[in-house]
Amino acid sequence: MAQIVEIRWHGRGGQGAKTAALLLADAALSLGKYIQAFPEYGPERMGAPVQAFNRLSDEPILVHCGITNPQIVAVLDQTLMASVDVAHGLPDSGQLIVNTSKTPQAIRQELGLKGAHIFTVDASAIAQDKIGRDIPNTPLLGALVKVTGLFDITMLLHDTEVKLKKKFASKPEIIKGNLEAIKTAYDTVQGKGKE
């Protein structure tokens, strides 16, 4: 069976978990990869816990069921961790990336998690600073690309620019802000996995 990377995104309705999954898939597609990006199926409610998923592979992806054991989990909102088991199904070798100002050690303690590699990045602060709004999904993408090494950051920046240009043709400052946010998160993500 082809090697498939599986990713789960946790966020709240409106934070852009689904968009993050779509942007990541789109960037991977530009690299010639096979992709899947899908939201947790069901009614969407602003503020409620939501999930989105990715599968990435060099070979065609045939499987069409949910993802229960992702290698990578990205958390867009740290307050979710009080009510959602964000590390569910994550193997000891897995990677957990959290949007928070806290350190990986602090998150490990909070979750009482023994296995997995934990990384943190203050994606909300970066988004406030660079985009002017707390939209942590694009900076978190930058952090994810850094810690997973899935692909080159310049590829992600280029692809996001192309994608956002279509959506925000009349607001170039949003595009610039997003690209800067991705780059900053890429540079400032904390954790080596074995804190």
Partner 1 sequence: MPTLAKTGNEAMAEAMRQINPDVVAAYPITPATEIVMIFSQFVADGLVDTEYVAVESEHSAMSACVGAAAAGCRVMTGTSSQGLQLMSEILPIASALRLPIVMCDVNRALSGPINIHCDHSDTMAVRDFGWLQIFSENAQEAYDNVLQMMRISENKEIQLPGMVTTDGFIISHCMERVETIDDAAAKQYVGAYQPLKSVLDLDNPITLGSLDLQDYYFEHKMPIVEAMQKAKNVILEVGRDFGQKFGREYGLVETYKLDDAEIAMVALGSTCGTARVIIDELRAQGVKVGLLKIRVFRPFPAEAIVAALKNVQAAAIMDRSDMYSDQGGQVFCEIRSALYDADKKPLLANYVYGLGGREICLEDIRRICADTQANAAAGKVKQLIQHYGVRE
The residue within the footprint of partner 1, chosen from 63, 105, 162, 192 (CB under 8 A), is 63
The residue within the footprint of partner 1, chosen from 3, 42, 83, 92 (CB under 8 A), is 42
Q: Which stretch binds partner 1 (CB under 8 A): 9-17, 59-67, 148-156, 187-195?
A: 59-67
CA distance 14 to 135: 9
25 touches partner 1 by CB under 8 A? yes
CB atoms within 10 A of CB 195: 15
Kindly tell me the sign of the dihedral angle through the C-alpha atoms of 39, 176, 27, 97: negative
68 touches partner 1 by CB under 8 A? yes
34 touches partner 1 by CB under 8 A? yes
Coil vs helix vs strand at 94: coil
149 touches partner 1 by CB under 8 A? no
CA distance 149 to 48: 30
3 touches partner 1 by CB under 8 A? no
The residue within the footprint of partner 1, chosen from 26, 129, 161, 195 (CB under 8 A), is 26
Furthest C-alpha separation in the chain: 47
The residue within the footprint of partner 1, chosen from 5, 31, 61, 81 (CB under 8 A), is 61
CA distance 34 to 59: 6
Q: How far is the CB of 129 from partner 1 (least distance, A)?
A: 30
